[in-house]
C-alpha cells in the first residue's frame, strides 16, 4: 500500500520559523512541518503500514495564504500541470493507493492532475481522502474516476481542516470499515 498525498505546507517556501499554531493549514506532526493533508496521510500510513509519498512541485508556492490562493487560481484557470519534483519509482509494487489532497476551490490542486497524468493506476485500487474547510470532495471523485478509468475508486474520507490533527479515531474507523487496519 502507498499513501500519495499533496500538502501545501510541503510545497511552499516557508520560513524556518513558521508559526504552525498561527497558520491554519500548517501543522507539526511527529516533529515534522506538514499540512492538514500530510497529518492525515501520516495517520493512514501509521495505521496501515503503508509507504508514504509526498507529491511535490518543482516550483514552490508562496509562503502567504493570499499569494498561494492567487497562484492556485492562476494554475486552475490555465489548466496548468505543475512540474513535479518527486516521482513514484516502484509504482508496480503497489496495488492500493491512498490518494490525499486539500480541496482548493472545489477541485484538487493542479499538482494532483500532474501526478495522475504521470502515473497509470489501471488495475489498482484508489482510496481517496481530502481535507477541506467544508466542501468535502466536491466533484473530485468523478475527476479521479475519469482520469484513472482503469482503476477502482473506493469510498473516500473527508476530514475538516480544522480537525485534522484530532482525526485519528475517524481515520481508524474509516480504515477498519474498508478492511485496511494492520
Q: How far apart are CA 21 and CA 3, in angstroms?
A: 25
What are the boundaries of each domain within the chain? 2-176
**Average pLDDT score over residue span 33-48:** 89
Q: How far apart are CA 127 and CA 81, in angstroms?
A: 22
Q: How far is CA 36 from the centre of its chain?
A: 9
Q: Inform me whether the pLDDT recorded for 22 exceeds 50.
A: no
- b/e for 14-36, b at 16 or more Cβ within 10 A? beeeeebeebebbbebeeebbbb
**Structural element, H or E, at residue 69:** helix 65-77
pLDDT tens column, 114-145: 999 999 999 999 999 999 988 999 999 999 99
Put simply, whether the predicted model's pTM sits higher than 0.85 gets the answer: yes
pLDDT tens column, 72-107: 999 999 999 999 999 999 999 999 999 999 998 899
Please report the pLDDT score of residue 161 as a whole number.
85
- Which of 52, 74, 70 is CA-nearest to residue 7? 52
| Cβ-contact 20, 33 below 8 angstroms | yes
Domain 2-176 part of CATH 3.40.50.10490 = no
Amino acid at each position: 500500500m502507498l499513501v500519495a498525498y499533496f500538502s501545501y505546507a510541503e510545497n511552499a517556501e516557508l520560513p524556518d520559523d513558521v508559526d504552525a499554531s498561527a497558520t491554519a493549514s500548517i501543522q507539526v506532526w511527529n516533529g515534522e512541518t506538514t499540512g492538514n493533508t500530510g497529518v492525515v496521510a501520516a495517520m493512514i500510513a501509521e495505521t496501515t503500514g503503508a509507504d508514504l509519498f509526498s507529491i511535490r512541485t518543482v516550483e514552490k508556492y508562496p509562503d502567504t495564504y493570499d499569494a498561494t490562493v492567487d497562484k492556485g487560481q492562476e494554475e486552475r484557470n490555465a489548466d496548468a500541470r505543475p512540474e513535479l519534483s518527486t516521482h513514484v519509482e516502484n509504482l508496480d509494487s503497489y496495488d492500493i493507493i491512498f490518494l490525499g489532497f486539500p480541496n482548493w476551490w472545489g477541485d484538487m490542486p493542479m499538482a494532483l492532475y500532474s501526478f495522475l497524468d504521470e502515473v497509470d493506476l489501471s488495475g489498482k485500487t484508489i482510496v481517496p481522502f481530502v481535507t477541506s474547510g467544508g466542501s468535502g470532495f466536491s466533484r473530485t471523485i468523478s475527476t479521479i474516476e475519469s482520469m484513472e478509468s482503469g482503476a477502482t475508486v473506493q469510498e473516500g474520507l473527508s476530514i475538516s481542516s480544522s480537525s485534522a490533527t484530532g482525526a485519528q479515531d475517524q481515520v481508524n474507523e474509516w480504515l477498519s470499515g474498508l478492511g485496511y487496519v494492520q
